[in-house]
Amino acid sequence: MKKIADELMQAGIEKVWTDEPLANHTTWRIGGPADLLIQPKDKASLQKALQIIHRHEIPWSVIGRGSNLLVRDRGIRGAVLKVAEGLSHCEFRGEEVCVGAGYSMIRLAVETGKMGLTGMEFAGGIPGTVGGAVYMNAGAHGSDLSRILIDAEILFENGESKVLSNEELSFSYRTSLLQKQKGIVLEARFQLRKGDSEEIAATLAANKERRRNTQPLQMPCAGSVFRNPPNDHAGRLIEAAGLKGYQIGGAQVSEKHSNFIVNCGGATAADVLTLITHVRSTILEKNGIDLHPEVLVVGEG
């Protein structure tokens, strides 16, 4: 991998690491090493990196800011492309906004509000990037990304990029086409509406206060762990089963919000996965409901 890292840097891709612990790049602060971690500085260097990776025939995967992600303890083989600061442009075009995949969703909610544009308020507590939000069809507060996305530019595995419409991305609850067809979000275009900036700011502030009071934001976590089942909430089911505060190793069902698992210190991916399995089996036994994880699990155990 050292030879490929040198080739990437010679090609002008400055941020390249070998055997980099991905615990340094996830909000859970958990994860073994990536053989090769690459952070492109722009779209052109991302495409160049993908060409080099293909030439050497090594597997690759993509991360953003590392939220909603559990990397197993032995890490990820091959190359990991980190799409973050390098693709973080934001351009307003009337009531439309075109945003790079590495742009923070929280920042986007704030900036669109300052511009007097409404529709993005739900994203004020989503800790990931625009690219990850498109991949997951991220949502909160009764809304999600599919309701405002016009289209997104996707770089596919063969090196070609294509703009896909909202319909072509096949969104459903926490799901998109990209979970079936491998590709990298480059940028996304959203349709918003004119609103009152003070009202938008008040909504964002109220949502932030509610999260501060109900979610363990001061501890390493990855957001909601389980998808909500139809007509119910995963957190309610987990709490009713007496699992709030239940702990395995360094991983604990949050005492503040039962659909969060927190890293109390030194948690491993194995701890988290064992805890997820225990929660699922308990809820299945008590309620006959199989809770499906919302977090993505990647890498080698």
Express each pLDDT in 15-35 by its tens digit.
999 999 999 999 999 999 999
Same fold, 88-213 and 216-298: no
Q: Where exactly are the structural domains of the chain?
A: 1-82, 88-213, 216-298
Token pair of 178 as six digits: 């990209």
Residue 117: its pLDDT value, please?
Answer: 97
Residue 141: its pLDDT value, please?
Answer: 83
Domain 88-213 bears CATH identifier 3.60.15.10: no
- The alpha carbon dihedral of 241, 242, 243, 249 has a sign of negative
Query: Which residues share a beta bridge with 104?
Result: 129
Residue 31: its pLDDT value, please?
Answer: 97
For the chain, first and last CA: distance in Å? 21
Percent helix, percent strand, percent coil in the chain, to nearest 5: 35, 30, 40
Residue 38: its pLDDT value, please?
Answer: 96
User: Is residue 132 helix, strand or coil?
Assistant: helix
User: Hey, which residues are catalytic here?
Assistant: 174, 224, 294
51-85 burial code (b ≥16 CB/10 A, e <16): ebbeeeeeebbbbbbbbbbbbbbebbbebbbbbbb
Residue 60: its pLDDT value, please?
Answer: 95
Report, as ranges of residue numbers, the positions in the chain whose pLDDT lies below 50.
none
- Report the topology of domain 1-82: 3.30.43
- pTM of the entire predicted model: 0.90
| 93: phi then psi, degrees, rounded to nearest 5 | -135, 80
CATH number belonging to domain 216-298: 3.90.78.10
Residue 136: its pLDDT value, please?
Answer: 93
CA 297 to chain centre: 12
Tell me the per-residue pLDDT of 81-90, one tens digit each, with 9 for 90 and over. 999 887 999 9
Residue 14: its pLDDT value, please?
Answer: 82
Tell me the per-residue pLDDT of 37-73, one tens digit each, with 9 for 90 and over. 999 999 899 999 999 999 999 999 999 989 999 999 9
